[in-house]
Structure 1
Amino acid sequence: MDNIIEDYFRCGFTNREILILLEESHNIILSLRTLERTLQRNRCKHLDVNRWMHQKCWMYGIITDRETVRQLMRLLDGQGVDAYNIRGPNYVWHIDGYDELKPYGICINGCIDGFSRKIIWLEANKTNNDSRVIASYFINAVAENNGYPQRIRIDRGTENNHIAEMQIFFREAGNAECVTIGPSTGNQRIERLWSTLRSQCIQFWMDHFEQLKEDGHFVGSFIDKSLIQFCFQHFIQEDLDETVSAWNCHRIRPTHNPRAPSGRPSIMFDVPSLYGVQNFLYPVDQTKLSICREDCIFKDYPCDEDVFQLCVELMAEHNLVMTNDVYEITDFYLRLDRQLILHGLEMDD
């Protein structure tokens, strides 16, 4: 139990929020005094600061104070609960692709709950065009939540065909009742997430890959993209996972818009009763879930399988080791690139 409490504490949840999560998610009922004693025993002291950068500080075990974060980030704290016409969690899942790293071979797809703004998934992969790949993210999320939303919001791209068909299959309803289709630019919930994602995560990788391009080490060929995928996709996914953790625990500030509730996405999603709304999750039929799984393509190789196998062979042949440092991985990328050229691999698309 202590580990659970410490995890919630490090996410920045207040004592009251921790008590609610313990009861709702773990069936553990504690008094406020018992929780405070547990935190004191573990030498934890809450700070009333709940901002984006503060979440990242906590994730890495950096204990800071309110004024330091306030001066650095110049953000205001906020509390409160407003009404929202999306009604509750799992009423709508907003799904979209993010293409800022696509020129370098990294395709990102995400999903966010419309009410709570909790990120349901954020995945980096070698393609965003295969609807069976995109469907695998949806099916994994449905399995993890043991249910599916009342409706989904997608754009008109063919990459979303399988998700739409699966949602209709689950709901046994007409398209208009459970699938909303519109342009990506109108998908405001997830567009706001993309803006944050770029500033907190993706801009670094855009600049890094652009430098490779300017230095003549990336020309956009199939091999170049495959090497980027082989060398960097894992690290980008780790960054995305950290972004998801920080985002879902941060506090969304109140606004003048009554349609946008404030609070922490995780709590708004998991404990909707605090906000006077209901959970619209539909329990999934396991037989239907198994049928849909058979029509998905799940993550396997980070790049083309033939290129992957060749890179593994070259690593063994030349004693190349992949490290956890992005700049060392860049040198690793350059060495692999040279070895592929020496092997006479075609560099054109």
Structure 2
Amino acid sequence: MDVDAHELIEIYFKLGLQYKDIVSVLAFRHRYIITERHLKCILRSRSLFRRKGYSNIEDAIVFIQYQLQTIGQLHGYRWMHTKCKENGLHIRKEHVRFILCSLDPGGVECRKARRLHRRNYFAKGPNYIWHFDSYDKLKPYGICINGCIDGFSRKIIWLNAYTTSSDPKVIGGYYMETVESSGGCPRIIRGDCGTENGHVRDFQRFLRRNILQESNIDCYLQGASTANQRIESWWGFLRKESMEFLISLFGDLKDRGLIDGGFLDKNLMRFCFLGIIQVSGGGLCLLFLLKYF
């Protein structure tokens, strides 16, 4: 096995994947076939251990303090532990919890108070149903986000920040680009009743027209956004872990009279933040998957 494969193993190990998961990813995605025993030998040769070689606790404290100054103030200890691993800090999850309790006791109590109990969700398999919707919390500042998530695997199908989410051609373009790149469309797609989803509805029904005639089951479902459970769950996650910081920042600028929501202000906000939001959204997609798998 060459050096590049060893580097891949180190990346997946630091992301927190289990041994069997690393072996599976190497086999199915990279065509590297190894056993768990061989994998452990490679990890030992690179001084990578689950219960050894922990990072300096002071480095972890400094990192967490820095995170708490930005959107990290919204994270719980599990999420903060994932971010530590992503940034090369090997530390126990319990230590992260103790550090957060010491540095941010108010945030810990606030997260405890907002604990929710949700009903179970079921989907038959990957690409059986996609849920898509628009996120308009930043729309007053000229930035619109549209996203789609697979109901079974929670994979983010697309997540795009742009100047509008009301144009059917734009939303339809997201759908067709994804269908072309992935080589297929889902069995069902779920959206709300907005007119901006008209092109997606027509594209989906056209692509599934033969199956629609045979089964007499509509391949496009529509209803209230509040009932679109998977994508609404993702928007809640997005706001909790990222957008709340920006919403508060932009709201503060508006309250101080520095922006008024006019044409010039919106274009300046897009110029400064549109690219940052797009990149940070992509990073959150990976961390979202790591949280659940």
Normalising by the residue count of structure 1, what TM-score does the alignment of the two structures yield?
0.65
Quick one: distance in 1 between partners of 2:181 and 2:49?
Answer: 32
Alpha-carbon distance, 1:85 to partner: 4.0
Partner letter of residue 90 of structure 1? N
* 1:85–1:247 distance in 2 versus 1, CA, 3 Å: closer
* 1:176–1:103 distance in 2 versus 1, CA, 3 Å: farther
Name which of 68, 85, 90 aligns with 1:63: 90
* 1:86–1:171 distance in 2 versus 1, CA, 3 Å: same
* 1:42–1:142 distance in 2 versus 1, CA, 3 Å: farther
Count of aligned residue pairs for this structure pair? 244
Name which of 231, 234, 251 aligns with 1:190: 231
- 8 Å CA contact 2:131–2:148 kept in 1: the answer is yes
SS at match of 1:93: strand
- 8 Å CA contact 1:12–1:58 kept in 2: the answer is yes
The C-alpha deviation readout for 1:37-57, integer Å capped at 9, x for no partner, is: 22222332236xx94322222
Alpha-carbon distance, 1:3 to partner: 2.5
**Residue 64 (structure 2) aligns with:** none
2:250 is the counterpart of 1:250: no
Name which of 212, 215, 223 aligns with 2:253: 212
- Aligned ranges for residues 1-349 of structure 1 at < 5 Å? 1-46=5-50, 51-71=78-98, 72=100, 85-173=122-210, 174=212, 176-251=217-292, 264=293
- 8 Å CA contact 1:106–1:233 kept in 2: the answer is yes
* 1:203–1:85 distance in 2 versus 1, CA, 3 Å: closer
Partner letter of residue 242 of structure 1? G
* 1:68–1:19 distance in 2 versus 1, CA, 3 Å: same
More helix by share: 2
The C-alpha deviation readout for 1:80-134, integer Å capped at 9, x for no partner, is: xxx9742111110000111111111110111111111222222111110111111
Gaps of 5+ in 2: 52-76, 102-107, 112-119
Gaps of 5+ in 1: 76-82, 252-263, 265-349
* 1:242–1:147 distance in 2 versus 1, CA, 3 Å: same
SS at match of 1:250: helix
Quick one: distance in 2 between partners of 1:88 and 1:237?
Answer: 28
- 8 Å CA contact 1:156–1:183 kept in 2: the answer is yes
- 8 Å CA contact 1:14–1:46 kept in 2: the answer is no
The C-alpha deviation readout for 1:175-229, integer Å capped at 9, x for no partner, is: 9521111110110111111111111000111111112112211101111111100
Quick one: distance in 1 between partners of 2:92 and 2:181?
Answer: 36
- 8 Å CA contact 2:159–2:281 kept in 1: the answer is yes
Q: Which moved more, 1:138-147 or 1:177-186?
A: 138-147
Q: Looking at both structures, which has the greater relative contact order when contacts are Cα pairs under 8 Å and sequence separation is at least 6?
A: 1
- 8 Å CA contact 1:95–1:154 kept in 2: the answer is yes
Normalising by the residue count of structure 2, what TM-score does the alignment of the two structures yield?
0.77
Quick one: distance in 2 between partners of 1:34 and 1:181?
Answer: 50
Partner letter of residue 14 of structure 1? Q
- 8 Å CA contact 1:107–1:125 kept in 2: the answer is yes
Quick one: distance in 2 between partners of 1:160 and 1:29?
Answer: 43
Q: Which moved more, 1:20-29 or 1:206-215?
A: 20-29
- 8 Å CA contact 1:12–1:250 kept in 2: the answer is no
Quick one: distance in 2 between partners of 1:191 and 1:221?
Answer: 29
> Percent identity of the aligned residues?
42
